[in-house]
Structure 1
Amino acid sequence: MGSFSIWHWLIVLLIVVMVFGTKKLKNVGTDLGAAVKGFKDGMKDGTTSADAPPQQVTNAARQDANTVDVEAKSKS
C-alpha cells in the first residue's frame, strides 16, 4: 500500500505525456537545464578568493560620469 509498482508509474507517465505532449516536455527539460547551468555559472562568478582584500570605494570611483547625484525628499 505504501509503495507504488512500476505499472503505476508507467500509467502516470503516459497520462503526463498525453496531457502535455512530448514537445512541451522537451522544452521544459531544456529550460530547466539552462536554468541550472545559469545558476551554477552565477555561483561560480560570485566566489572570491580569500587572498583578495575587499575593494574600497574611492572618490575617483564615486565621480563616475554615469552616476547622477540627487537628493531624496520625503512626502509631507
Structure 2
Amino acid sequence: MGLDSFWHWIILLIVVLVIFGTSKLSKIGPDLGNAVRGFKKAMQGDEDEDEAKRKTQEQLRADPPPADSTASKARDTSETK
C-alpha cells in the first residue's frame, strides 16, 4: 500500500477527521493565512512603521480649525445672555 493509493488517502483523511474533528480543521485555513500575512509584515516591517510615523506627523502638522467658527459664536452669545 503506497502513498499513491486512493484508499490510503481516504483512510488517512478519515483518521485525521476523527482525531482533530471538523471544527479544528476549518480553523486551519484562516490561521495559516494569518501566519503568512504576519510573516510578510515582519519581512517588510521597517517600511510600514516609517510610513505610519510619517502619516501621523502629517496629521500633527495639519492646520487647526479656525477659531472664528459659527459654533463658537453661537456658544458665546448664549453665555452672555
Output the TM-score relative to the length of structure 2: 0.47
Query: TM-score, normalising length from structure 1?
Result: 0.50
Structure with the larger helix share? 2
